Amino acid sequence: MSQRSLFSWPRLFPALALLLAGAASTAHAAPGDPLTLGDALATALLQNPSLQAYAFETRVAEARVLQAGLRPNPELLVGVENFLGTGALSGVKGLETTLQLSQVIDLGGSRARRVETAESERALAGADYEAKRLDVLAEVARRFTEAVADTERLAAARRARELGEQTAATVRARVEAAVVSPLELNKARTALALLQIAEEHAEHELASHRQSLAAVLGAADPAFGPTQADLLRLPALPEFAALAARLEKSPVLARFAGEARWREAQVRLAQSLRRSGLRVSGGVRRVENTDDFGFVASLSIPLPLHDQQQGTVREARERRAQLEATAEALRLEMRATLFDVYQEMLHARTALTQLRQEVIPIAEETLALTEQGYRKGRFALLELLDAQQSLIALRVQVVANATAFHLHVIEIERLLGAPLHPDTPRS
Q: Give the tens place of pLDDT for each residue, 192-239.
A: 999 999 999 999 999 999 999 999 999 999 989 999 889 998 888 899
Q: Using an 8 Å Cβ cutoff, are 211 and 222 in contact? A: yes
Instruction: Return the minimum-mean-pLDDT range out of 99-103, 155-159, 255-259, 415-419.
Output: 255-259
Q: 395 vs 140, 233, 364, CA distance in Å? A: 26, 16, 10
pLDDT at site 76: 87
More confident residue, 32 or 331: 331
What local confidence, expressed as pLDDT, does residue 33 receive?
Answer: 82
Q: What local confidence, expressed as pLDDT, does residue 336 receive?
A: 95
Q: Please report, for the chain, the start and end positions of each structural domain, with discontinuous segments joined by +.
A: 12-416
Q: Side-chain half-sphere of 58: how many Cα atoms within 13 Å?
A: 14
Which pairs with CB-CB distance under 8 Å and at least 24 residues apart come from 300-304? 302/276, 302/278, 304/274, 304/275, 304/276
Comparing CA positions, the residue from 393, 382, 376, 389 lying closest to residue 186 is 382
Q: Could you count the other beta carbons within 10 Å of the beta carbon of residue 235?
A: 21
Residue 396's pLDDT band, with cuts at 50, 70 and 90, is very high
Q: How confident is the model at residue 30 (pLDDT cuts 50, 70, 90)?
A: low
Q: Please report the pLDDT score of residue 217 as a whole number.
A: 92
Burial of 65 (0-12, 13-18, 19+ CB in 10 A): middle
Average pLDDT score over the chain: 83
79: which strand partners? Answer: 98
Residue 364 above 90 pLDDT? yes
List the single range of 76-80, 348-352, 407-411 with lowest mean pLDDT. Answer: 76-80
- CA–CA separation, 201 and 226 (whole Å): 18
Question: Residue 19's pLDDT band (boundaries 50, 70, 90)?
Answer: very low
Distance CA(408)–CA(346), nearest Å, equals 9
Rounded Cα distance, 341 and 11, in Å: 18
C-alpha 18/C-alpha 284 separation (Å) is 66
User: Measured in Å, how far apart are the chain's first and last C-alpha atoms?
Assistant: 19
Looking at residue 250, what is its pLDDT? 86
Is residue 82 within 8 Å of 241, Cβ to Cβ? Answer: no
**How much is the pLDDT for 367?**
92
- Residue closest to 138 by CA, chosen among 237, 37, 49, 47: 37
Query: Maximum distance among all alpha carbons in the chain?
Result: 138
Residue 2, pLDDT above cutoff 60? no
Q: What is the pTM of this model?
A: 0.78
Mean pLDDT over 294-298 rounds to 82
**DSSP letters of 29-85?**
PPTTS-B-HHHHHHHHHHH-HHHHHHHHHHHHHHHHHHHHTPPPPPEEEEEEES-S-
* Residue 11 region by backbone torsions, left for phi larger than 0, else alpha for psi between -120 and 50, else beta: left
Count CB-CB contacts under 10 A for residue 101. 12
Cα separation, 319 vs 125, whole angstroms = 18
Spatial separation of the C-alpha atoms in residues 195 and 160, rounded to whole Å: 7
Q: What pLDDT, on a 0 to 100 scale, did the predictor assign at position 360?
A: 95
Cα–Cα dist 317/310, whole Å: 11
Q: How far apart are CA 76 and CA 412, in angstroms?
A: 62
> How do residues 226-284 score in pLDDT, each as one tens digit?
998 899 988 888 999 999 999 888 888 888 877 778 777 777 777 677 666 778 888 88
Query: Residue 299: enclosing H or E segment and its boundaries?
Result: strand 292-300
pLDDT-wise least confident of 56-65, 147-156, 281-290, 413-422: 281-290
In the structure, what pLDDT confidence band is assigned to residue 89 with cuts at 50, 70 and 90?
low
Tell me if the domain spanning 12-416 has CATH number 3.30.390.30: no
Burial of 92 (0-12, 13-18, 19+ CB in 10 A): middle
pLDDT of residue 29: 54
For residue 23, pLDDT beyond 70 = no
Burial class (CB within 10 angstroms; exposed 0-12, middle 13-18, buried 19+) of 290: exposed
The span from the CA of 180 to the CA of 191, in Å, is 17
